[in-house]
Structure formats: C-alpha cells, structure tokens
Structure 1
Amino acid sequence: MAAMALLTVAPVLMGQREPVLVPEVSQSRVEVRQGFTGADLLLYGAVIDPAGSASRTQYDIVVVLKGPSQPIRLREKERIAGIWMNSGSSDFQSAPSFFAVAASSPIEEIVDPRTAAIYELGTEFIQLSPTGQIEPEEQARFARGLVEMRERLGLYKEEPDGVRISEGVLYQARIALPSNVTTGEYTAETFAIANGRVLASATADIEVVKVGLEGRVVVAAQRWAPFYGLGAIILSLGMGWFAGRLFAKS
C-alpha cells in the first residue's frame, strides 16, 4: 500500500522543493471487546525529498498520536483538620484523552521550545485550553498535575527514541494503546524536521470503537438516551426491591 502511494505522489513531486510525507498505519480501526488488554499500533511511511538521492538532508521524524479531547475539571485536595477537602480547582476545555509522542531523537535536540509548543511535540506542550479566572502559575501547576496523573495511567507518554529511520527515507514507530483508552476518533500526525524546521506534516486517522455487547449498549445509550436512562432507573429500583425482599426473608 505504501509503495502504491509513493508511485502516486511521485509525479507531483517534480515541481516541489519541500519534502512530502506518505504516512500509513497498521490498523485504522481498533475494536475494544470484553477483556481488551490494549493494542500496538505501527505507524510507518516514507519521507520523499524532491531532490531524490542527490539530497543530503538528514530528516528527523516525530509522530504525535492524540485521542479525542474532553473538557475536564481538576480538583486539588488538601488535608484540613485531619479531613481531606477540595482546596482548589482548574477547568481545561480540551484535554486529549490520550497523547503519545514518538521521535527519532530527543525533542530538545530537534527543535527549539517555541517550535515544539506550536506543534505540541511533547507532553509539556499539550494545548489544554484552560478556562476560568486563575493565576497563570496556578494554571501551569494544575496542567503539570494533569499530565503527571495521566502519565501514571499510561495515557500520556513520550518515547524520544521511538522512531526508526531506514536509509533516510522509510520510518516506523510503535505506540501502545493501553486497555483504559477512550473510544473515539484518534489522529496520528507525522512531522519531518530538518535544521530545526518542520518541513512537512501528514495526518492519518484511527478509530477506536467498542464492539460486542458493550458496543451495543453504548450505541443504545446514544441513540435512545431517554429510554436508556429510564431503563437504568427501573433496573436499579427493581434490584433494590429484590435485595430488600431477600434480606427481609432472611
């Protein structure tokens, strides 16, 4: 498939000066079933230089895999008079549910911090879009706390040597999705970088979906939300009544 893509874009490169990325992914659909233990994604492709073999440009490759973004409120707990209580909070409008960066070299050796921030080339550069009235230093502290929490859960990660480049043209990266991933649309964005500049980028889409009984429950909850909610209430009331009768007899 990658070879066919290369043949397709080759004629277009004749009039170009910048490199072109041709990305592929081992599976564009990840099915989450009961007992799902995670999945390994292979992201691979080629960086094509219009100068061909005459070019001596050495490219670095960075792959950023992001899951669907969600709003989140992060609360901080503090022990007051021996009781743990909420002492502060911060809201973030678009925190990615999953974020992984794989690179052919450490990011700080490839680009400067400003470029890394523009393209989100690292967990410290995730654009969380904080909202509300809070001091910038406090926002930064809450943002670091969110990143650290999700790193412990395996949802945010960095792999500075996670991309292998062959013959200066072909690249591949493996990124593991943990069992607790959120379903939805994922994007894998690949960047070709040389001399501290991002010269080309390309995006591949990956869909993570629940299938089987869990998938049917999710679809039912989305399509018939009022009936699903009513059914859940009736079921909980029925189980409560049955438990009450059972213990009353005993």
Structure 2
Amino acid sequence: MIRPLIHALLLLLVVPATASAQIIDGTPMDGEAIVADLSENLIAITSNFTGAEILLFGNVDAPDNVTPALQRDIVAVVRGPYEPLVIRRKERIAGIWVNTDAYDVPAAPGFYHVASTRPLDEIASTRVFENAEIGLPALDISTGDDAIVLPVTYRDAVVRAKLNEGLYAEAPGSITFVGPSLFRAEIALPANVPVGSYVATVYLVRNGAISGQRSINLIINKSGVERFMYNFAQKTPFFYGIAAVLVALFAGWVAGTVFRER
C-alpha cells in the first residue's frame, strides 16, 4: 500500500511540469493530457519466479476541474515481445494424427493484456479500437502477405491457446479512478510470461475518440544462472545441445556408480 501511495504523490508533483511532454502520437483535446508510468520497468525472472504484478498509474491533466472523471475513460494495452509463429492444423489420417496445413505469422505478441475503465464496446466504436489494435478482436495476427489470408479458425485457435495459457487477457473495469483525475490498475504477469521487450500504452478516451496516449517501456529478463543458460541456448544452440548431452551422460554415470556400490 505504501509504494502505490508514494508513486501517486510523486505523480501529482511532476504532472504540472511534464504532462505536455508525455504525450506520444496523440494530441490532447480540450487542453487535456495524460501522464502515466509503471511501478517497475524491469522484471527479473529467477528460478523461483511464480508471476508478478505491476502497478500502472497515471493522471489526466486538465486546465480546470469541470470535466468529471466519469466522462473520461482510460484504456491500457501491455504487449510484447513480438515473435514469429507457425500455426499448424492436425488431422487424423489412417488413425494417425499428422500436420496438414501450416501458416507462418511473421510477428505476434507473446503477451497481450488490455485493461480499461469499462467494457470497450461502452467506451468507443469498434472502428476506433481497430485502428489502434486495442482489444483481442482488433489484434493483428496475420501472414503479413495480402495474397495469403489466414483463416479465422487459425487466428481464433492462437488467441484461444494464449488465453488458456494466461498470456492474453482483457480486464474491463480493472482501471479505477482515485479522485477526479488519478487512475490506477494492477497488471498480472503469469509465471510463463516470455522474456523480452514490452510496451505499455495508455490511452485517454473522451466522447468516443482517443484524445491522448502515453507509452512506457517494460523489460522482462532472466537473471542469475537462468539468464546464463538462456543466453547460452539462444546464442550457441549447437554447443548448448552438446553440453546438455554431456551433462545427461555424466548424471547417468553418477547414478549408475551409486547404485552399483549399493
């Protein structure tokens, strides 16, 4: 409770001086601007990592207090890292399950979380959110080639699998206003969250239109022995494979020696 309160107090102090500089790719409407940040910008994954929660907090800076909070909405999207996918379909042929059709997706987010003050369909039209890829229906999962259309069933299968793994989520109502302009939300990161670079984009929506936005970087990385092993496997997979075989042989030899002595 103390950390969020400290962040909120600091935010109130810095908003008047920095709010106008925090807007990225968005022009404030009616003099309103948005400033936001995360409680942590670096998450370290160790051997006992079971997931984490980060606090997203911010403030709507307005020239006056005429507009009540209920007339504003906040939508936050945390996404990343983008990586290629191969989507395959399995069919049972002669009693054996085999891969048939396959589609390559050049880039899809490994993690995608949408938080909002209300359900998206109550905040703005579908077209508004499609342009910004806000919400699972608007998420671009495609082949990247206009000549090759990814069937809807394949796209839905990817989204469904990510939802089951806890890597994709929509959380309407998870962003709450604390007073007339301060807002906050807790973003849950599951234990299987992929390592890499993330971007948290916070949108200010008013009268069904996006009137401002703020982007914050987030890094999730392994630390300690886990980081060494991960980098070893990624950068030198051949030698990592040899090392894994040698370790397995050594472990087998030790086990055999112990049981022989008994």
Tell me the TM-score normalized by structure 1. 0.85
**1:94 Cα offset (Å):** 1.1
Q: Deviations over 1:2-26 (max 9, x none)?
A: 123213226879xx74421111111
> Which letter maps to 2:104?
D
* Contact 2:19/2:33 (<8 A) preserved: no
* Contact 1:124/1:144 (<8 A) preserved: no
CA distance in 1, matches of 2:153, 2:147: 11
Pairwise mapping of residues 34-73 of structure 1 onto structure 2 (< 5 A)?
Answer: 34-49=47-62, 51-55=63-67, 58-73=71-86
Pairwise mapping of residues 168-183 of structure 1 onto structure 2 (< 5 A)?
Answer: 168-183=180-195
Local SS of the residue matching 2:49: coil
Whether 1:197 aligns to 2:197 is no
Consecutive unaligned residues in structure 1, runs of 5 or more: none
Whether 1:22 aligns to 2:35 is yes
Pairwise mapping of residues 141-220 of structure 1 onto structure 2 (< 5 A)?
Answer: 141-220=153-232
* Contact 2:203/2:210 (<8 A) preserved: yes
CA distance in 2, matches of 1:170, 1:212: 37
User: Residue 31 of structure 1 corresponds to which residue in structure 2?
Assistant: 44
Q: Deviations over 1:208-246 (max 9, x none)?
A: 111121112223445666654554455456667x49x87
Give the superposed CA RMSD.
Answer: 2.9
CA distance in 2, matches of 1:12, 1:133: 38
User: Residue 7 of structure 2 corresponds to which residue in structure 1?
Assistant: none
* Contact 1:18/1:200 (<8 A) preserved: no
* Contact 1:164/1:172 (<8 A) preserved: yes
Give the fraction of aligned pairs with identical amino acids, expressed as a percent.
30
In structure 2, do the counterparts of structure 1 residues 84 and 12 end up closer, same or farther at CA, with 3 Å as the change threshold? closer
* Contact 2:83/2:109 (<8 A) preserved: yes
> Which letter maps to 1:68?
P
* Contact 2:19/2:34 (<8 A) preserved: no
Pairwise mapping of residues 230-241 of structure 1 onto structure 2 (< 5 A)?
Answer: 230-232=242-244, 234-235=246-247
**1:42 Cα offset (Å):** 0.9
Pairwise mapping of residues 219-234 of structure 1 onto structure 2 (< 5 A)?
Answer: 219-221=231-233, 227-228=239-240, 230-232=242-244, 234=246
* Contact 1:18/1:199 (<8 A) preserved: no
Local SS of the residue matching 1:218: helix
Whether 1:96 aligns to 2:109 is yes
**1:205 Cα offset (Å):** 1.1
Tell me the TM-score normalized by structure 2. 0.81
> Which letter maps to 2:49?
F
* Contact 1:38/1:178 (<8 A) preserved: yes
Aligned length: 243
Q: Deviations over 1:168-218 (max 9, x none)?
A: 311111111000010111111000001110000001111111112111222
